[in-house]
Structure 1
Amino acid sequence: MAALTLRALLFIVNLTFGLTLDTILGDRVQFPETEHCSERGAKLQHTLTVGSSPTVAHLEGVWKPLDGYKDRMSPNESVILNRSNINDQGLYRLTCGSEEKLIHLNVIISSEKSVTEGEAARITFHYFTAGKLGMYRVERNKQLVFELDLSSGRTSQGSGFENRTSVAPNWSSDGDLTLTLQGVKPEDRGDYIFHIFKDDKREHVQAVRVSVSPAPNTEERNPEQITFTPQPPCKEKTALICVSVAAVFLIAGAFCRGQTILRICWSKVSGGAAAGGAPTELEMTPYTDIPVPVVNGHA
């Protein structure tokens, strides 16, 4: 149901005394059996010590919290604690008409681990394996991830984790049951519960909340390998150079033309005057010729 989130009820297993619920400290937790009870006057009690069993909630159309739980529980169709604390763990007794059910709640303190997509994740777990028998089991969101028979060494892997999970080869002598998960995927995120089954009981329970961050792209990972595609010569630059060269030639041409005009003008003034006659436009004295001074009309 919608009220049940991935951060609550990570593991449910039938034991001889009833149900076992696991939740991570601070997460929301639901008691699923209360949803199926419709007997008016039903109640859920938390057995703390012998003779001390405070009532958590009672059924009056909907489940209503009692003192001590009103700040963490709202009237609902089932008993849901919005956030768990360490004092919530223990044995609960559900009385529904003539029926009684026992529920054991484990509140687990977890650690957090962030892994980059594509890399290997190592989640530490140690257990005293010298002479011990039992089953080492890892689950994610109630689904099998990895299982190891401590007596035979036989392993099993859950769906989606095939050929990706392992423990150290010397786990038996060292007690190192650290789980290695290869090629982490985004869908591998979640809450991992580690525990040992021995003599039909669970022990050494541990929880790790795994998050998966996206893999960095190539440019971010290897900036020195970034390459640039050579660009063809810029046409605008070529055009600018051509215009500049043309401008130089134009200026040079204008300068030369100016020099020629100066020589023509000079010849108009000096050629005819030196001969004592009228100036003529046909006389073109080279620019380098120096006019001869005239004294009393004779050269």
Structure 2
Amino acid sequence: MTFRSETSAVPPIVLNDGNVIPQLGFGVFQVPSDEAFPVVQAALEAGYRSIDTAAIYGNEEGTGRAIRESGLPRDEVYVTTKLWNSEQGYDSTLRAFDVSLKKLGLDYLDLYLIHWPVAVADRFIDTFRAFQALKKDGRVRSIGVSNFTEAHLQRVIAETGEIPAVNQIELHPRLAQRALREFHANNGIATEAWSPLGQGTVLDAPAVTAIAEAVGRTPAQVIIRWHLQLGNVVIPKSVTPSRIVANFDVFGFELTGEQMAAIDGLDSGGRIGPDPDELTAGL
């Protein structure tokens, strides 16, 4: 348990390897590297202690600089990055990890994720084995995947003998991923939600706005609270300082069972991002 969860107001989620991840973090998808520095600074000042980036985002340098210059001890900031599709494979994964760690300017990662399965290339098993080697060497605390389906997860577990600690997936009220979340729960995999606000597409839903008015909160706060009460790890992204602060202010209220059910009712199975079985970008 390397991350000092007791220093944060955010509830910790205990992973299947005994390490902990803050349940609420901050994502930097589509944030240019030069903007990542002030944006991540603002997030850390607001109280976030988990930062999620990826090699393909092109902002590991700015993100890492903000973390290093924050004045916070390294073990008080949980750092995640992801391996891009073009680097999958055992040796190429190890090389790509070195590049990411150098850009971040850190000595280790808290969590390393395979960004997409790209099953057509059939390299994610060798990639995960490289992750296992990095974990054994102490360079990564926890290893996981992103955008993996149940079938992909079953292969990883069967062929590597290890259950990923995390699966980061598109998850929001219009794509609640109930079946996959149930598989995660039954196998000790933490569910982490990317695009947790549906890129804003659910914020004006009547069910959400009505709840927001009833509890005196913003629609975004209501949706983040929904995620937290489901048990998801959630990483909202914003570049607006006021929204960065507001999205963190989600621990002073709770949604009722009726309100949770109303949000659950928005699930239509509609994706914003690619289908994990079809994406081949980077190959």
Q: Same fold (TM over 0.5)?
A: no
Indicate the structure with greater helix content. Answer: 2
Structure ranking higher on relative contact order (CA contacts 8 Å, 6+ apart): 2
Q: TM-score, with normalisation over the residues of structure 1? A: 0.25
Structure label with greater radius of gyration: 1
